[in-house]
Amino acid sequence: MTTTVRVPAKINLHLGVGAPREDGFHPLVTVYQAVGLYDDLTAAEAPDWRFGITVADHIEPGSVPTDGDNIVDHAADLLAAHHGIERTGDVLVTKAIPVAGGMAGGSADAAAALVALDRLWDAETSDDDLLGLAAQLGSDVPFALFGGTALGVGRGELVTPVVDTGTWWWVVVPSAEGLSTPEVYRHFDELFPDAPAEPPAADGLLAALASRDPHQLGALLHNDLQAAACDLRPDLEALIERGEAAGAIRGLVSGSGPTVVFLCESGDHARAVAGSLDESVVLVANGPVAGAHVVHYDTSG
Ligand code: ATP
């Protein structure tokens, strides 16, 4: 048996960050959107556990661990332990989501692994259990199962879908060099020692989503980590200015960065803005799209 699960990248349309909690996590109010940049994870039956990865041209080979410490290995361990079974399978990830880019590529692969291995092992994990395991693997993993557009609270793992009937077009500019998410949060704490306990709410942005008007949405995009990311990587601010000067409605650091996304009016507009940027990798994606989903299933292999 072989199954392939496709899983999208996320961007944060709103990322409100509060002062660190006692457990060290920052409370978040975030609005995630799944966008059409995907990793595929194929799992086939095997007598033991094997894991491999192939990467798209814009991803540095070797930037993702294959030594047993990949988040996919951890997802498999967790699901196997949940069912009291042995971890087996031949798993290959085909990666196109930028690594350490603030687009939750690792979380996406963890979600894909849960869905694919649940099928491969005929484990019939309930949705609630799958979401619980996802939250243990990382704050962004439950959203990768949901996809669409959703509100995330807690540390981002408590996810509720929101109304979003629009189609939003994004230019996505990854960076050759990643940024460490913990480092960006540490710098946020240095820059904002008086951050409020309650992160800023997303009510205005949710109303803008329902309007389906990209200019309304553009005015309300918000990322509390942007100042920290731009301080660590001053080139990001200049990139945002270039994209906005090229006609994008609004540029924003994605999550903890360094990927920058630009909201555009339409697919044609996004392709025009992308064409006028001279960065080495410029992608166009639309959202919202579905979360982790099966795209191939073959019982003969
Ligand atoms: P987030 O937005 O959730 O903070 P990110 O997009 O910034 O995540 P990831 O691409 O998830 O970052 O990778 C963070 C680190 O996790 C990488 O530097 C890499 O070493 C490690 N990692 C482990 N497994 C994976 C995986 N399957 N894909 C990508 N990175 C992985």
- The rounded Å distance from CA 176 to ligand 1 centre is 14
Ranges of the chain whose pLDDT falls below 70 = 301
| Per-residue pLDDT at 301 | 59
Binding-site annotation, residues for ATP = 98-108
Separation between Cα atoms, residue 16 and residue 32, nearest integer Å: 12
Query: What atom of ligand 1 comes closest to residue 106's alpha carbon?
Result: 11
Residue of 63, 69, 71 with the most ligand 1 atoms within 8 Å of its CB, for mutation: 71
CB 214 within 8 A of CB 221: no
| Per-residue pLDDT at 213 | 96
CB 2 within 8 A of CB 296: yes
Tell me what ipTM this predicted complex has.
0.94
Other CB atoms closer than 10 Å to residue 262's CB: what's the count?
A: 29
CB 249 within 8 A of CB 155: no
Query: What atom of ligand 1 comes closest to residue 98's alpha carbon?
Result: 10
pTM of the model: 0.96
Q: Of all protein residues, whose CA lies closest to atom 25 belonging to ligand 1?
A: 106
Describe the chain by its helix, strand, coil percentages, rounded to 5. 35, 30, 40
Residue of 26, 99, 141, 179 with the most ligand 1 atoms within 8 Å of its CB, for mutation: 99
206 CB near ligand 1 (under 6 Å):
no
204 CB near ligand 1 (under 6 Å):
no
Q: Which residues pair with 159 in a beta bridge?
A: 152
65 CB near ligand 1 (under 6 Å):
yes
CB 209 within 8 A of CB 149: yes
109 CB near ligand 1 (under 6 Å):
yes
CATH topology for 168-286 is Alpha-Beta Plaits (3.30.70)
The domains of the chain are located at: 2-162+289-298, 168-286
Residue 148 falls in which region: left (phi positive, over 0), alpha (psi -120 to 50) or beta: left
Architecture of domain 2-162+289-298: 2-Layer Sandwich (3.30)
Residue of 63, 181, 253 with the most ligand 1 atoms within 8 Å of its CB, for mutation: 181
Separation between Cα atoms, residue 251 and residue 244, nearest integer Å: 6
DSSP state of 255: T
- The rounded Å distance from CA 269 to ligand 1 centre is 30
Q: Which sequence positions are flagged as catalytic? A: 10, 140
Q: Which residues pair with 285 in a beta bridge?
A: 170
CB 235 within 8 A of CB 174: no
Whether residue 65 is preceded by a cis peptide bond, meaning omega within 30 degrees of 0, is no
| Per-residue pLDDT at 61 | 86
